[in-house]
Amino acid sequence: MSDITPQSPCPRAISRVTDPLPPPVVCPHCQSPVDVASHREVYGQDYGSWPWFYLCTGCEARVGIHPKTDIPLGTLVTDAIREARKHSKARFTPLYETGRMTRREAYQALADRLGIPVSECHFGWFDSEMCEKAGKVARELYIAYFNPAPDPVARTPV
């Protein structure tokens, strides 16, 4: 069991991952090589049962790995992108957490307005620019679905 690592992953676990991304080889931010690292090497101890992640040898951008596979959870992120994802996702999740839209409907609406397939509509895949767009779209959707504009006829002056 314990000899399953990103270098010798479990084929069954790999087959269960939807929308898998290829393992990163070169950092998209600084073009340095990317290594597999473990929590123990970087933080001094392991957290959880799958303590592996990809780490850029240059700028230290990083991303987690799906358990028992070599499939990254998203693209390599710098601290700045990680923050941007957190902020845009925080704008988006209320759309379905309120229960007025399903999670699927919310992602479909977001993907449509971003002009991307829903299979690519993952916050873990977004760069800073995409996060900014997604945050804006989420705000627009929120207004459109939850706070409809007043009827223009009613606002026509008499």
Q: Kindly list the residues in this chain that would bind Zn ion in the complex (CB under 5 A).
A: 27, 29-30, 32, 56, 58-59, 61
Q: How far apart are CA 152 and CA 155, in angstroms?
A: 5
Q: How far is the CB of 3 from Zn ion (least distance, A)?
A: 29
CB-wise, 75 or 88, nearer to Zn ion? 75
Q: How far apart are CA 149 and CA 143, in angstroms?
A: 8
CB-wise, 28 or 67, nearer to Zn ion? 28
Choose among 48, 49, 51, 58: nearest CA to 24: 58
Q: Which residues contact 49 (CB under 8 A, 6 or more apart)?
A: 67
CB-wise, 60 or 105, nearer to Zn ion? 60
CB-wise, 53 or 92, nearer to Zn ion? 53
Q: How far is the CB of 63 from Zn ion (least distance, A)?
A: 11
Query: Which 3 state secondary structure label does DSSP give 89?
Result: helix
Q: Which strands sit side by side in the sheet containing 34-38, from one edge to the other? A: 34-38, 52-56, 62-64
CB-wise, 35 or 46, nearer to Zn ion? 35
Q: How far is the CB of 74 from Zn ion (least distance, A)?
A: 15
Q: How far is the CB of 20 from Zn ion (least distance, A)?
A: 22
User: Which amino acid, 103?
Assistant: R
Q: How far is the CB of 61 from Zn ion (least distance, A)?
A: 5
Residue 2's φ and ψ, nearest 5 degrees, are -70, -10
